[in-house]
A and B are shown apart, each in its own frame.
Chain A
């Protein structure tokens, strides 16, 4: 046969695989408001950059009449491509082929591209849209999940791993995304749960819809499983592309440096934080007043909103911002906000991203439910993460820094490299009200007018301790600065710490409180 004919045959074979699960299945996918796996890859990657592998892989199941069935690509597409020129490895489950169910060859394709991503030290993006295990393949499909989880763990902290939930992701399947760095969900399309509504109904008698149990909003607002939420798949892909610009290809590199840009003039840093410490404000405006081009890429925006995390740039270099949010629950640390910030700090540390921490918090949230929910254990995660991190750490105390919250928020004592405080900072063991009540209990109770004495003592305490100068006198903060000097000093700190050395004693790994 002449080569020309063989090329024709190749084209024919490819054409067939490109049909996915066939016209009817594709129509169903479209009716559900979803793009097909191929459309997703094309939308996500740079134009014409995708190279597919294992297109002709076929399943090898024999039982239950599977031996006669053709499942194109075994329900998953794998390959490599680029995003804004940065190489990435991708897999996308194809729901039109046997519901994207995971059999052994399907899993082998996923693990192949995972191995490739790790070997080449490039980010991995997994698009999940699958009915779950392929029951006909029995324990082989469980083995497949296990192989994927093992690789997720092996790659953790070495290459960025991104999970995109664009359809159902239920049962064991949810644990691969949970092991990755960033999870993206889309309204009305993403569904994640360990046991679905039917099982919950039959076992517990509780009725709930898929959406209310594990829809996009649930994971973006309540569980914290999702990091990015969007209204459409295209918006989701834009978020992923933007994220890729902030992070390095792997843990031996720095993120790509951009052209430095001054913050926009409409963020006047001196006008953001109110003089009255009881007045809330949006701390993201402070970040925007500091960051290049006033650009802040927030992560987990809707969950545990009392702490704000995300990426921005200083002098073109990616930094991770962690900031208490006085606008939500007074910016307290609690179970969820500690967990959220701790994981982000560890992410930045693993991928050579310097940390900028903005402090304004009344402390840890008191309460029976917090104590019983394990605020000790979860709060400790944040102490651990900051103490462990060796990337440059810059802290700016904007206003309140009381008690355990002061220590936890990247204090000098946890080895922050630079600690700056604004003149509005109040750094003390506890708030004036509480402290005065304890220290002057006797004077207050024995005074002819205890309430007047109490107020007097609170004022005295406020005057003497609710300021940055007591901590500055001990060298716990490096300098008290004017708000307008913040960006200049952070840029300088970043420059000075670019050659930072922070040795730690050898260990296999630590035992963080999770």
Chain B
């Protein structure tokens, strides 16, 4: 989608950090608000949640990965 702030399918890192845990697999159904990934940044294990319900299309990270801001973590379809 052209307007990134309205995008509720592609979940990106809000800040650079390290992936601590990945909670979902491709093909899995997720509910809105479900935790997808744990991102260690800003002195916190941040819970990256699903902005909308759907099926996980792609998981782009694994534990230990360092990601930059805006990096696509998980996409939902």
A contact patch SS? loop
Report which of B5, B14, B45 forms a contact with A278, defined as CB distance below 8 A: B45
Which residue, of A212, A330, A367, A400, has the highest number of chain B Cβ atoms within 10 A?
A330
List the B side residues contacting A218 at CB < 8 Å.
6
What string of 1s and 0s marks CB contacts (under 8 Å) between A259-294 and chain B?
000000000000000000111100000000000000
Report the bound CA distance from A433 to B3 in whole Å. Answer: 36
A369 — nearest CB in chain B belongs to which residue?
B69
Residues of B contacting A400 with CB < 8 Å? Answer: 43
Are the CB atoms of A330 and B47 closer together than 8 Å? no
Q: Are A222 and B5 in contact (CB under 8 A)?
A: yes
Q: Is the CB of B44 within 8 A of A280?
A: yes
- Take A218-B6, A222-B6, A278-B40 as given contacts and tell me if A367 and B47 are in contact as well, using a CB distance cutoff of 8 Å: no
Residue of A nearest to B44 (CB): A330
A330 touches B43 (CB 8 A): yes
Check B15 against A212 for contact (C-beta < 8 Å): no
The distance from the CB of B14 to the nearest CB of chain A, in whole angstroms, is 6
For B40, the chain A residues whose CB sits under 8 A away are 278
Q: Which of the residues B5, B6, B42 comes within 8 Å of A365, measured between beta carbons? A: B42
Given A329-B15, A367-B15; A208-B44 close (CB under 8 Å): no
A310 at the interface (CB under 8 A from B): no
> Given A367-B15, A367-B69, is A330 in contact with B46 using a C-beta cutoff of 8 Å?
yes
Residue from the set B5, B14, B40 with the largest chain A CB neighbour count within 10 Å: B14
> What are the interface flags for A236-259 relative to B under an 8 Å C-beta threshold, 1 for contact and 0 otherwise?
000000000000000000000000
Which residues of the partner chain B approach A278 to less than 8 Å between Cβ atoms? 40, 43-45
**Are B15 and A365 in contact, CB atoms less than 8 angstroms apart?**
yes
Q: Is A362 an interface residue (CB 8 A)?
A: yes
Residue-wise, chain B 1-34 has the 8 Å CB interface mask toward A (1 for contact) of 0010110000000110000000000000000000
| A379-B44 Cα distance, complex, nearest whole Å | 21
Which residues does chain A contribute within 8 Å of B67, judged by CB atoms? none
Give the complex CA separation of A279 and B44 in angstroms: 6
Residues of chain A within 8 A (CB-CB) of B45 are 278-280
Closest chain A residue to B17, Cβ basis: A330
In the complex, the chain B residue whose C-beta lies closest to that of A212 is B6
The interface of chain A, by Cβ under 8 A from chain B, is 208, 212, 218, 221-222, 277-280, 326-327, 329-332, 362-363, 365-367, 400, 402, 431, 433
- Among all A-B residue pairs, the 9 with the closest Cβ atoms: A330-B44, A330-B42, A362-B43, A362-B42, A222-B5, A278-B45, A431-B43, A329-B14, A278-B44
- 10 A-B interface contacts by CB (under 8 A): A212-B3, A222-B5, A280-B46, A327-B47, A329-B42, A330-B42, A362-B44, A365-B42, A366-B15, A400-B43
